[in-house]
Structure 1
Amino acid sequence: MTVPAKARVVIIGGGVIGCSVAYHLSKLGWTDIVLLERKRLTSGTTWHAAGLIAQLRATQNMTRLARYSQELYGELEAETGVSTGFRRCGSITVALTEARQEELLRQAGMARAFGVDIESISPTEIAARYPHLNIDDVLSGVYLEKDGQGDPANIALALAKGARQRGARVLENTLVTGVRREGRRITGVDWQQGEDRGHIEAEMVVNCAGMWGREVGQMLGANVPLQACEHFYIVTEAIPGLTQLPVLRVPDECAYYKEDAGKILLGAFEPVAKPWGPIPHDFEFDQLPEDFDHFEPILEQAVNRFPALAEAGIHTFFNGPESFTPDDAYHLGLAPEMDNVWVAAGFNSIGIQSAGGAGMALAQWMDTGEKPFDLGDVDIARMQPFQGNKHYLVERSKETLGLLYADHYPYRQKATARGIRRSPLHNLLLDQGAVMGELAGWERANWFASPDQTPEYQYSWGRQNWFENQAAEHHAVRNGVGMYDMTSFGKIRVEGPDACAFLNRVCGGQMDVAAGKIVYTQFLNSRGGIEADVTVTRLSETAYLIVTPAATRLTDETWLRRSLRDEFAIITDVTSGEAVLAIMGPRARDLLTLVSPDNVSNEAHPFGMARTIEIGMCHARAHRVTYVGELGWELYVPTEFAAHVFEVLLKAGEQVGLKLCGLHMMDSCRIEKAFRHFGHDITCEDHVIDAGLGFAVKTDKPAFTGRDAVLRRKETGPQARMVQFLLNDPQPLLFHAEPILRDGDVVGYLASGNYGHTLGGAVGLGYVPCAGQSAAEVLASSYEIEVAGQRIPATASLRPLYDPKSERVKC
């Protein structure tokens, strides 16, 4: 087929993801689509995928995408005439330990909240559905009737045919050799077919290059962190009497089983993976050298679990590469570095079950310019620039493959590729017993161990070894004074003569305020959804400081840059320039008075204001604001002075009972106060009015993004309300995604949860649908939260259960 001279979009990569993007763009009416595959379709990873197709993922929207994939594959054959091999054989996951049993019970509750049919089953019921299994040490399991399996290559070929039928061009043996670039846009793609070479002008480019995605990303000017790893499975000879079986997962033994044509495919997600590379550019339908020693421990356990394997011959020992990302979530969306480069890559062994939904979501995003729903879990903008480092990716990938089947304990921290981003206070905090967690590469003190305690996590589904440490830190902030390091939070400076007008257009809050004023606000999209949740401090007539969560700093900066029109405003990431120490609690003012000659009374320094004060022998900008619901200040200090300020505060703190605290404390305090957490409680899909944040939106100012949507929702009233729940039983723990039952029926799930040490029980936040209902009607119902299969009565409130009038904050 002739390569055209120009296209609306060029898709690089002809695996199942690239074919899905082409298919879904064509369904939206795009005809000027060109897909370029360097060899033949499916020849990289797709052709050797296991083809497991499950519905349930870790979040509602990822589940939505997986379910869409399954429904699509069931219809593709009729549409295209290409057999996809899709069949709903069901799936079983079994638990061999009490910890895994707890995880499966919680997953079952989450599934019901997401609308996925799931059944908790006993060992006897497992044996009835999977008679070949040794169930001697099986405790329980879950069964999903509508899960299935399919033929990966034919699914991709069906998608490609569907795209062609609507006018897309799918070109094989066409290598992308380079691009032409103008500023933040790719203007075209250079190609090679044998001895022929040429160029395609392109309005957009999509990187669907799979395990080559990082290198193609570098060509396109985009950071796409992923690493190929070896992935092993065996296929047996035919086993007599073997008929259709559900897909079986035994995560405690790192194994999955798939019956196909009377044979068993046994695959593994071993705890320590084998990174692979560099990847040959002529790699096509190839496999990697066998490594039986690496696979043998999995096989030994499998022979015990599935005794028929002992007598079955091995037909195929397969080792093929698949790509993995630093956080086991795939990459989707518009690359932050570029304005017309899109990404769909790095699918972590779930490419077949994800491809349909991912292609649909990306196509809609490309078509409208807005995400169709919250895709924060997989948005490529979540990746930090350093995560494209090759050494980092190799080290992290050794762990991430195995984490797919590891126990998914709450608060579990990555163990590999650590210590990369450090606060200037890092070693000082370690000396005081800090136990670090990691977020966006930042090492952050999550809790402080006591002198007689091993400073490390001991994971479980119950009260972990730091529960009492968190309680002590929590009570210090509530009753005395605590200090914690917030350096990792993002800091973005916006300055210039049009900074005020620009931010007033982007933010829902009023930005035309006095210098020193701190404004809590959101960036809204056209639907009134929340794209960012930030504080904005006016530093001067022409300069502002935006403080963002650590994980979304790049996302928020990118939103700002793409929102700029003709305003004269400069946007700069200044995160590394200042350390931030928060001192919070009723005695915070006493502590500041000991170290500063400046007046920090309520009259001299009211809530919501920032000003420079002396501390020790240097200066700090003191922001009187809080995320824990107490009197307090965040102290912004140039990094070179941070250690001095810390030591001064720590020494003076001996007089007022200062306690060092971690970020687990911050989360337990904020949830008692019902402060929202971006990415969990509030996302681009959650309307700012429904989230209970209408007070932060000033509709009386000139037009801003989302204003019309806010006014419409104020007229109709909220369609859902964010409700705070306190379990009446003090023992169970809440994390997230636990079902909310209203008068006995599941109506939603918790967006976040933690333990409220002051309130005396676990606390959660979640949305309750309430179209046409008053606040009083919402609260008139009885509520329960399902925790690991048990329904726990809960107190519901629309106002913070802790200090509802915020009297402690403003004292």
Structure 2
Amino acid sequence: MAGQIPASARAVIIGGGVSGCSVAYHLAKLGWTDIVLLERKQLTCGTTWHAAGLVGQLRASPNMTRLAKYSADLYVRLEEETGVATGMRQVGSITAALTDERMHELRRQASMARAFKVDVGELSPSEIKAMYPHLNIEGVVGGVHLPLDGQCDPANIAMALAKGARQRGAAIIEGVKVTSVAKKNGRVSGVSWQRGEEHGTIATDIVINCAGMWGRDLAEQSGVTLPLHACEHFYLVTEPIEGLSRLPVLRVPDECAYYKEDAGKMMLGAFEPVAKPWGMNGISEDFCFDQLPEDFAHFEPILEMGVNRMPMLASAGIHTFFNGPESFTPDDRYYLGEAPELGGYWVAAGYNSIGIVSSGGAGMALAQWIHDGEPPFDLWEVDIRRAQPFQKNRRYLKERVTETLGLLYADHFPYRQMASARGVRRSPLHEHLKARGAVFGEVAGWERANWFAREGQERDYRYSWQRQNWFENNRDEHMAVREGVGLFDMTSFGKIRVEGRDACTFLQKLCGNDIDVPVGRIVYTQMLNTRGGIECDLTVSRLSETSFLLVVPGATLQRDLAWLRKHVGEAFVVITDMSAAESVLCLMGPKSRELLQTISPNDFSNANNPYGSFVDIEIGMGIARAHRVTYVGELGWELYVSTDQAAHIFETIEEAGEALGLKLCGLHALDSCRIEKAFRHFGHDITDEDHVLEAGLGFAVKTDKGDFHGRDAVLRKRDAGLSRRMMQFRLKDKEPLLFHNEPILRDGKIIGQLTSGNYGHALGAAIGLGYVPCVEPGESADAMLSSRYQIEIAGEVFDAEASLKPLYDPKAERVRL
């Protein structure tokens, strides 16, 4: 019986919106018949039922586009498979630009779409008018058209997915509230439920939280961080309009608006710049197909622009003015994956108003991930492990989501910073840097100096797709590192102590490089998955025979901690997050040794402190560990300092550095230097989908040290030959800028896209990194370099020099000065 609740199940899904139904459908397709979906009220009654149902295939990256394309294809065939009408119509979509900057962004998106093999065309204002005759094109600069985009009936999509899951043996039960998730030995062990006066427990070791806007509070009960918060989302639907025929979905992001024709009526929806958070004190138990009170004053500015843009709205009657809640996240990206705090606790939630186009692909990817134990491809953008524990704070979420809703339609300028909910995590040097002109950005909650304003210069970003207002500041900082000495505050690094009797053996098993080195040595390495993909990118410093310090990017700290803890097994080790205990001051450049020797009695010579080693030092009146490593490709040291001494040591360095022209430098300069040196960055250039050898990091893998996680995949790739290679590109034209995702052309054909880009001030042009497929496995380096390479930027193609070695200091001589 459909309503009978079993005593055990292989997996329990909580939440019957489109997300939960998609996960159930895709697990069932993989042959999981013993699965149960529990919905506290009725299927789709939270957010799904009132979603707009827009299905746009082009997203911000290749894999997010892959998921959206999958959703579109699935919804097209789902009706035939299940017999449930999904309302899926591939009417296409048009996005219209009202500014030159927006049009440049759309052209970049069109270039990206071609690289992702999404059908796209650029439109002039008159061509938009021809396709959308009701539109007032005054002020329209141009637009893009995606003919295979569409619209659907969201509730029926969910119902079709639910039926498809049931047909394959899944149990979907409505009217059952999950009261708690039981756990044992750090893993899920069951789900407690209530239905009227009935209550009980389903024994299971896999739970999937698809509870939408209820997801945060549900996760909190189990100690799981799931940062999301509901916002009010507004749209109106007109009465039937005579002569209104089938039209593409229209987006006018410069007016925060989208338009959808449906059954002869017009919908106008909004993503306003300042949103209205909702449900701060929890969401009512009785919420079911509910809508929120009207707030016409809030919507009125959007409507006024809409009446001007679509004049027929002026005389059309309003059939429905709707306000309903949807959940948003701090970075406008949803959450997938296994929670790092609790084994077997999976999440698919927080869709930021793109749940319909996302859920088909997200359900497929998560089901595959649960089934295989590894994601089917790189999902770091939406991985639950990117969430920081503090982000579940309700005040933080309330403030942040006022901004993130509107960012869906804001200009997606490079380097754009969040404006809300700032200042949560600060270095001990924050006020020092602020007083010296720092302009801050935020990563994982950390305030980090991105660039330094000159005296009298505005301390703020002026965003553009061209050179922004800090371009010359960045050049000065970049060249100070190349020619003199620069100082970075990198306190935001993740710092993990791994210590205990089995620490060395444990790390040898997880790391590709040889970790069994003398005390005082630093090893650059990766942790690999079974496919040879890169799970963690880090340095390991041996502090003692039984103690190691792992340094990782601040953004990946939770992911890396989870990976370590997942593989501890029976090893006798203690893993401790030490990130807040030490500040890191990076002193970089050819004059860095000279500066250090003026403030420390220690010996910084190559003989005593060679590259890849650390020494304990006196500095000023304090002490520190001086790690001789670099992420900018110059002679330099990372100084690890107890946070209570950070300000003193900073002041000591600054005072002594004045005579040597010391320059305070920001994260933008760090990035431009590292791309110029072709150093990889996790999340952009290297991910769990990228094989360590194809990423050009084979030098950090020692297969002869014995067995380690991923070793077999490394050996297989060596035998079979590389199928692609990471290459570096320098534009021959000095003017254009590169950011990432620009298409790479080999002999006139698009073969991939850049993973990173920035301006290489020492090399005198924009620099990019990206993977180039081999014509055949094992294609030689000479053969690959004999081709002609170009980079496409906003529809324009530029010649590029390609290299498999760093174009800057290819022999790495400068780091060993």
Unaligned runs of 5+ in 1: none
| TM-fit CA distance, 1:552 | 0.2
Match for residue 307 of structure 2? 303
Distance 2:364 2:594 in 1: 57
Distance 2:520 2:107 in 1: 50
Does 2:801 align with 1:805? no
Distance 2:569 2:178 in 1: 33
TM-score scaled by length of structure 1: 1.00
| TM-fit CA distance, 1:219 | 2.1
Output aligned runs, 1:293-442, within 5 Å. 293-442=297-446
Is 1:508–1:696's contact at 8 Å kept on the other side of the alignment? Answer: yes
Report percent identity of matched pairs.
67
Output aligned runs, 1:190-339, within 5 Å. 190-277=192-279, 278-339=282-343
Task: Please tell me the residue identity of whatever aligns with 2:75.
Answer: Y
| TM-fit CA distance, 1:183 | 3.4
Does 2:759 align with 1:759? no
Could you tell me which of 597, 602, 614 is aligned with 1:598?
602
Distance 1:633 1:295 in 2: 54
Could you tell me which of 655, 666, 670 is aligned with 1:666?
670
Task: Please tell me the residue identity of whatever aligns with 1:751.
Answer: T
User: Residue deviations 1:684-737, cap 9 Å, x none?
Assistant: 000001000011000001110110110111112211010100000000000000
Distance 2:607 2:122 in 1: 60
Distance 2:747 2:79 in 1: 43
Distance 2:237 2:667 in 1: 47
Distance 1:556 1:178 in 2: 28
Distance 2:633 2:551 in 1: 18
> Helix, strand or coil: the match of 2:21?
helix
Distance 2:678 2:724 in 1: 16
Could you tell me which of 74, 77, 95 is aligned with 1:75?
77
> Helix, strand or coil: the match of 2:10?
strand
Is 1:186–1:220's contact at 8 Å kept on the other side of the alignment? Answer: no
Task: Please tell me the residue identity of whatever aligns with 1:146.
Answer: L
| TM-fit CA distance, 1:525 | 0.3
Match for residue 783 of structure 1? 789
- How many pairs are equivalent? 811
Match for residue 543 of structure 1? 547
Does 2:464 align with 1:460? yes
> Helix, strand or coil: the match of 1:418?
coil
Task: Please tell me the residue identity of whatever aligns with 1:125.
Answer: E
Match for residue 482 of structure 2? 478
Task: Please tell me the residue identity of whatever aligns with 2:55.
Answer: I
> Helix, strand or coil: the match of 2:508?
helix
User: After the TM superposition, which of the residue ranges 600-609 and 412-421 deviates more from structure 2?
Assistant: 600-609
Does 2:131 align with 1:129? yes
> Helix, strand or coil: the match of 1:700?
helix
Could you tell me which of 165, 168, 173 is aligned with 1:166?
168
| TM-fit CA distance, 1:198 | 1.4
Unaligned runs of 5+ in 2: none
Does 2:586 align with 1:582? yes
Could you tell me which of 684, 694, 698 is aligned with 2:698?
694
Distance 1:311 1:60 in 2: 43
Distance 1:486 1:96 in 2: 40
Is 1:77–1:84's contact at 8 Å kept on the other side of the alignment? Answer: yes
Task: Please tell me the residue identity of whatever aligns with 1:651.
Answer: E
Output aligned runs, 1:455-534, within 5 Å. 455-534=459-538
| TM-fit CA distance, 1:186 | 2.1
Output aligned runs, 1:609-688, within 5 Å. 609-688=613-692
Distance 1:490 1:380 in 2: 17
| TM-fit CA distance, 1:218 | 1.2
> Helix, strand or coil: the match of 1:654?
helix
| TM-fit CA distance, 1:655 | 1.5
| TM-fit CA distance, 1:383 | 0.3
> Helix, strand or coil: the match of 1:559?
helix
Is 1:22–1:33's contact at 8 Å kept on the other side of the alignment? Answer: yes
Output aligned runs, 1:147-186, within 5 Å. 147-186=149-188
| TM-fit CA distance, 1:365 | 0.5
| TM-fit CA distance, 1:291 | 0.2
Cα-Cα RMSD = 0.6
| TM-fit CA distance, 1:788 | 1.1
Distance 1:145 1:761 in 2: 36
Distance 2:669 2:172 in 1: 54
Is 1:220–1:341's contact at 8 Å kept on the other side of the alignment? Answer: no
Match for residue 96 of structure 1? 98
| TM-fit CA distance, 1:182 | 1.6
Distance 2:727 2:667 in 1: 23
Distance 1:54 1:180 in 2: 39
Is 1:15–1:43's contact at 8 Å kept on the other side of the alignment? Answer: yes
Could you tell me which of 778, 790, 796 is aligned with 2:802?
796
Distance 1:185 1:717 in 2: 40
Distance 2:243 2:305 in 1: 22
| TM-fit CA distance, 1:203 | 1.7
User: After the TM superposition, which of the residue ranges 184-193 and 789-798 deviates more from structure 2?
Assistant: 184-193
Match for residue 45 of structure 2? 43
Distance 1:359 1:697 in 2: 35
User: Residue deviations 1:99-136, cap 9 Å, x none?
Assistant: 10010010001111111111011111101111100011
> Helix, strand or coil: the match of 1:637?
strand
| TM-fit CA distance, 1:744 | 0.4
Task: Please tell me the residue identity of whatever aligns with 2:51.
Answer: A
User: Residue deviations 1:192-237, cap 9 Å, x none?
Assistant: 1112111111121000000000011112331110000000000001
> Helix, strand or coil: the match of 1:606?
coil
Match for residue 13 of structure 1? 15
TM-score scaled by length of structure 2: 0.99
Could you tell me which of 137, 145, 148 is aligned with 1:146?
148
Distance 1:368 1:444 in 2: 38
Task: Please tell me the residue identity of whatever aligns with 2:233.
Answer: H
Task: Please tell me the residue identity of whatever aligns with 1:378.
Answer: V
Distance 2:148 2:21 in 1: 24
Task: Please tell me the residue identity of whatever aligns with 2:79.
Answer: E
Could you tell me which of 737, 742, 748 is aligned with 2:741?
737
Distance 1:435 1:532 in 2: 29
> Helix, strand or coil: the match of 1:128?
helix
Distance 1:763 1:656 in 2: 29
| TM-fit CA distance, 1:389 | 0.3
Distance 2:772 2:181 in 1: 49
User: Residue deviations 1:6-39, cap 9 Å, x none?
Assistant: 1111100000000000000000000110000000
